[in-house]
Amino acid sequence: MTLHHLEPLRQPAVRPAGQGRPRDTSIDARATEAVLELLESAPYSSLTMEAVAAKADTSKPALRRRWKSLPGVVVHTLIEALGPAETPDTGCVHCDLVIGASEVADTFSFSSVTHALPGLLSDLASDPELRELFIREYFDSRRDATRAVFENAISRGEIHEGIDMELTLDLVAAPLYYRAFFGHQPITREVAERSVLSVLNGIATNVWKAHHQAG
């Protein structure tokens, strides 16, 4: 057989300059599951990057390419596990707030990452950039959705104008976060509903109170 009958050799694929190895997107999910599983049996203080990497069947460098620190991995896990549930806005302020608060209660009750909150927030104090990410991706989205519910209730005449909106938003979920941090009492849907009613009874107009009592 002569050379011109041979098939041309297949050239190796050339990766464009500056393009590294394709990102393995499954590592993100595996890291989340690893953190959740490890927190089921050990406290946040004993969590290490080595343990997460081993559990996720990856390497520390692979994790650090995504998150520069262990708190970064845990923040990612917390956002994935607890968020981004949002308060609905159906026109029933009581119903919507109870649904939103109950979802928070459920995730706090059943997710092991809740146990990491006290230690994680302590670590975030020394990492302003990560703290800003945590606030933006977890807290702000929830607060903005709940804020819309209150603002629409105000426009319908169900909530008094001039309320301290930021304080009101804090009060709705404060008992749930208090119990999550200290663990002194269980976090339940009943607690979530009583918290909502306590807030509404303080800021609602007679329009809402009459409608609620009639319902």
19-32 pLDDT, tens digit per residue, is 555 566 789 999 99
CATH class of 84-214: mainly alpha
Contact 66, 39 (CB under 8 A): no
Question: What are the structural domain ranges in the chain?
Answer: 26-77, 84-214
Find out if CATH 1.10.10 is the number for domain 26-77.
yes
Same fold across 26-77 and 84-214: no
Q: What is the pLDDT of residues 115-164, one digit of tens each?
A: 899 999 999 999 999 999 999 988 888 899 999 999 999 999 999 999 99
Helices vs. strands in the chain: H and E counts, helices first: 11, 0
**Tens-digit pLDDT string for the chain (215 aa):** 443 443 443 444 444 444 555 566 789 999 999 999 999 999 999 999 999 999 999 999 999 999 999 999 999 999 888 776 678 889 999 999 999 999 999 988 888 888 899 999 999 999 999 999 999 988 888 899 999 999 999 999 999 999 999 999 999 999 999 999 998 999 999 999 999 999 999 999 987 877 776 65
Alpha-carbon distance 170 to 176, whole Å? Answer: 10
Q: How far apart are CA 215 and CA 204, in angstroms?
A: 15
